[in-house]
Amino acid sequence: MNRILIAEDEARIASFVEKGLRANGFVTAVVGDGMAAYDLASTGGFDLLILDIGLPLSDGFTVLRRLRGAMVTIPVIILTARDSVSDTVAGLEGGADDYIAKPFAFEELLARVRLRLRADRTPEVTVLRVSDLSLDLRTRRAYVGDRAVDLSTREFALAEIFCRHPDQVLTREQLLSHVWGFDFDPGSNVVDVYVRYLRRKIGADRIETVRGTGYRMRVA
């Protein structure tokens, strides 16, 4: 089981990333300043570092330079509000493996985390199956039996989280954060709208409403 260190001083974003990664089977730890990020990342106890640039005590660029200067090879994904070309280049040339600008969708971060952890691991699952529903994660195509189903990007992401957690109740907040990113409106009814779209395409009985909580994908 992979251990991921999250270095982020904005509590809301750190909590959002941590909850999402844990829901997908990762072990996580969170630190809120650059000195702590360097200390923990250099122990060898983590498989990947998600690193904010605007950290107190020591900024992300400094943490990255220190890690690489100490020959610490942990994969690093920079996560920052700085999205200029010069900042991106500085991060990558400084030894980062990837760079994601805020705001971001969790599905994108998760895909990049999995990509960076793929080396020296068993092959990543590329097709998810629940009963006769299958999702091909490489081609982003969905099938019900032998019938191809045309899903939008959001519909596919929603179907993916259901298929990764079959027969598990997922709250609207979990679905919002996974599919729509950390900058979501908790009062929005967009989840209910997209569940309705998804039901029309893959079968109304496949996704069960759990009153007062959220939704669950039933396993036949």
- Look at the block and give the residue holding tokens 């609207």: 172
Provide the CB-side half-sphere exposure for 101 (13 A, CA): 8
Of 106, 188, 121, 116, nearest in space to 154 by CA: 106
The pairing of strands 127-130 and 133-136 is antiparallel
Instruction: Determine the pLDDT at residue 97.
Output: 85
The yes-or-no answer to whether 3-117 and 127-217 have a common fold is no
Residue range 127-217, CATH number = 1.10.10.10
Q: Looking only at Cα atoms, what is the longest distance across the chain?
A: 56
In the chain, which stretches have pLDDT less than 50?
A: 120, 122
Instruction: Determine the pLDDT at residue 52.
Output: 92
CATH topology of domain 3-117: Rossmann fold (3.40.50)
Instruction: Determine the pLDDT at residue 76.
Output: 93
93 vs 98: CA distance, rounded Å: 10
What separation, in Å, do the N-terminal and C-terminal C-alpha atoms of the chain show?
A: 29
Domain boundaries defined on the chain: 3-117, 127-217
Instruction: Determine the pLDDT at residue 7.
Output: 96
Could you tell me the pTM of the whole model? 0.58
Which residues on neighbouring strands pair with residue 129, listed in sequence order? 134
Structure tokens belonging to residue 97: 């493996």
137 vs 218: CA distance, rounded Å: 20
121 vs 119: CA distance, rounded Å: 5
Q: What is the pLDDT of residues 23-34, one digit of tens each?
A: 888 999 999 999
